[in-house]
Amino acid sequence: MVQRFSVVGGSPARIDGIEKVTGTAKYAADYTLPGMLYGKIKRSPHAYARVLSIDTSKAEALPGVKAVLTYADVPHVKHAGAPVPRTGSLKADQTILTDVARFVGDGIAAVTAVSEEIAEEALELIEVEYEILTPVLSVDAAQQTDAPEIHDTAANIITQPIIMKNGDMEQGFAEADYVFEAVYNTGRPVPCYMEPNACVCQFDQSGKLTIWSSTQGAFMVRGTLSEVLGIPLNKIQVIVEHMGGGFGAKQDLYQHEYVCALLAKKTGRPVKMEYTRKETFLASKTRHPVTVRLKQGVKKDGTVTAREALYLSNTGGYASHGPGVTAVGTIDLTSLYRCNETWDLEGRSVYTNVPMAGAFRGYGAVQGFFALDVQMDELAELLNMDPIEFRLKNAVGEGDISPSGHRLHGDAFADCLRRGAEEVAWVDKWQSPKTKSGRVRSGLGVGTEMHSSGAYPDIKEMSSAVVQLNQDGSVNLMTGVADLGTGAWTAMAQIAAEELGILLADIQVTAGDTDATPFDGGAYASRTTHIGGKATQKAAADLKRKLLTFAAEKLAVDVTELDLKNGRILINNTPSITLKELLKEEGNIPTPALIGEATHYAKVAYSFAAHFAEVDVDTETGQVTVKKVTAVHEIGKAINRIGVEGQIEGGIQQGIGHSLTEDFIMHPETGRPLNPSFVDYKMPLSMDMPPIETVILETQPDLGGPFGAKGVGEDPIIAIGPAIANAVYNAIGVRIRELPITPEKVLQALREKEA
């Protein structure tokens, strides 16, 4: 039966659209409270240094300065930047301020003053005496036996290595006709959210803390501040009205959130802190630069027989999501392409004295699938097979293992590959690089991925929602899900309206306030629509049951004869009065109040994608230009079509950046960041974007998702990297296994080929 939808699947305008385009939407730094002070953090200029002494007397004496904090003044609780339930992916190794700087930008002291200018001036007056240590700047150096231990862990590995073994490796490689091994490297892109990190903290007389913060996880901020500062959960209110992006990096806390709360407490006045753009580079969470050594055996008929990998990630000065990212990246290599379930995989996340890496859209999968997908391309060539045909031969499908260890249902991945190949006319268009010549050569490449919606089973994934009917027939939806600019709250409203059978305009979303909504873990792991959406759907269904029972009584019909659609009551499928008319009749105000509520516990679900990139490579300048991207995504069901397309296009834009131009670079000896600004760190802007053809497949709806919907947030950034790298190879016949693919690397590779 084809399900007909009224609100779901369309592209209604964002519920917050008008506020955003008129500039009235408030972001954390837009809050200004009476008597408010401004806070700033003094950051280490050294990559690795011990603080011998700090003299704050001059700063404290500066008129307008209200408080100064150093390591000696703050709780020394080690924290992970996130509370339970997220701690499995992190390690508690950070303190609020530090007496050992572990990267250039580590927070040493903080001040608050009546103006930002005075606070900045006061930072200069804080005198710090450092013992400068030799920084450990590469993963190789960090693993040497004589390397200093940045956090007292052997070989600077955060936790135990992640080891995945299955099958008989020796036999797997013995069965192969070819064994191929190569090393793949990814760069260090930065999330570059438009809204810099910011927060405002205020304590009331009862000791209750209110914090307006730019975070993907309001409940994570509440939980972490509670754990670290020792404040009960109900005495912390986190408000996030609007956000200008986070991309994963705003899911754990930053130093300013703790510091701001402590400064507000100490001064008894509200305090605002806002990062400069430079601070969003130094003190943010970059993607983990990863080296993947990957070896696979393959038979002449194209069957992969065994897979061996070492996944080495550089986590920087603190762990943040290093353990989680490394686990995801390593475990992902058990899937996407079959290898006879014969694998030997190891993941290590290593401390170095560079800015922290952490969660960033694509969370380990970007790096792992870059290596795997580029190598699949290399194997296809080795076998003289068409790259699509070879992929289809090994693509995971019905009954195959997924990274979570669960068996997959359906062949959605193959559907993506086939549909994309059709869209780009692969059979006619794809030609071996040997056929290419001339100064500018064009190439066509494919990249693929799969990604889970939510972090189950590593996290017991859940979300709750409350839906309340008002006396006039309008509805309030209380949801804890975060909307970091994705349109998630609009999607929640669509789901509630569809399930209830009322108009979208009659739903008001109450969100972004931990005092006003039930719990949700936050926006991570492409979970929001799939999990928060299902909780919303269930809560709406609960309300609808109660509402129809009430209506049946008023209309003196049996409840089984009733339904509600587009705000109108149907009796035996015949339109009757509207819900609003029913409620208007005297005495029909529901008593007790009609409230639906639900908690949804999610299971595993996977989305898939195949991206096809068409590029031009200028063999004289080394410039790579992406001419067109065709993106096929299997996501179960698009709740908001234009929102899904926006996610896909945005992911491709970020991915083009990571593939070609974006890399945050440290000085090789001092560890000092060389390009912490939008002048020297180049993202693709709208003018740089190629046309994007988006195909949304809904062939494999997930019963655990609302109306079958799965996640799409992270998927598009994962598939685009290998698509571009493979297209570059297809154009010039030289393999570049390292991101970003800069003109320098292209020219170097061409020169080596000629030599």
Q: Would you tell me which residues interact with ligand SMO (CB under 6 A)?
A: 248, 251, 359-361, 363, 524-525
Nearer to ligand SMO, 80 or 388 (CB): 80
Nearest distance, CB of residue 243 and ligand SMO, angstroms: 13
Nearest distance, CB of residue 363 and ligand SMO, angstroms: 4
Rounded Cα–Cα distance for residues 120 and 42 (Å):
9
Nearest distance, CB of residue 346 and ligand SMO, angstroms: 22
Nearest to 746 by CA among 734, 682, 79: 734
Rounded Cα–Cα distance for residues 487 and 639 (Å):
11
Nearer to ligand SMO, 89 or 296 (CB): 89
Nearer to ligand SMO, 112 or 453 (CB): 453
Nearer to ligand SMO, 90 or 260 (CB): 90
What residue is closest to ligand SMO based on CB?
Answer: 248
Nearest distance, CB of residue 665 and ligand SMO, angstroms: 22
C-alpha dist (Å) from residue 80 to 48, 104, 322, 365: 20, 19, 11, 22
Nearer to ligand SMO, 54 or 192 (CB): 192
| Cβ pair 373, 296 in contact under 8 A | no
Nearer to ligand SMO, 82 or 169 (CB): 82
Nearest to 691 by CA among 507, 495, 486, 424: 424
Nearest distance, CB of residue 542 and ligand SMO, angstroms: 29
Nearest distance, CB of residue 323 and ligand SMO, angstroms: 13
| Burial class of residue 623 (count of CB atoms within 10 Å of its CB; 0-12, 13-18, 19+) | middle
CA dihedral 492, 493, 496, 500 (to 10 degrees): -170
| Burial class of residue 675 (count of CB atoms within 10 Å of its CB; 0-12, 13-18, 19+) | middle
Nearest distance, CB of residue 499 and ligand SMO, angstroms: 27
Rounded Cα–Cα distance for residues 329 and 322 (Å):
10
Nearer to ligand SMO, 245 or 684 (CB): 245
Residue 311 three-state SS: strand
| Cβ pair 602, 704 in contact under 8 A | yes
C-alpha dist (Å) from residue 602 to 32, 127, 521, 636: 39, 52, 12, 15
Nearer to ligand SMO, 251 or 730 (CB): 251
Nearest distance, CB of residue 485 and ligand SMO, angstroms: 13
Nearest distance, CB of residue 95 and ligand SMO, angstroms: 24
Nearer to ligand SMO, 251 or 536 (CB): 251
Nearer to ligand SMO, 37 or 220 (CB): 220
Residue 409 CB neighbour total at 10 angstroms: 16
Nearest distance, CB of residue 261 and ligand SMO, angstroms: 23
| Cβ pair 530, 501 in contact under 8 A | no
Nearest distance, CB of residue 651 and ligand SMO, angstroms: 12
Please, what sign has the CA dihedral across residues 360, 361, 365, 366? negative
Rounded Cα–Cα distance for residues 484 and 250 (Å):
9
Rounded Cα–Cα distance for residues 224 and 238 (Å):
11
Q: Which residue has the tokens 């007389």?
A: 205
Question: For the chain, what's the residue count?
Answer: 755
Nearest distance, CB of residue 321 and ligand SMO, angstroms: 7
Rounded Cα–Cα distance for residues 312 and 308 (Å):
13
Nearer to ligand SMO, 311 or 729 (CB): 311
Rounded Cα–Cα distance for residues 167 and 705 (Å):
33
Rounded Cα–Cα distance for residues 387 and 447 (Å):
10
Nearer to ligand SMO, 387 or 480 (CB): 480
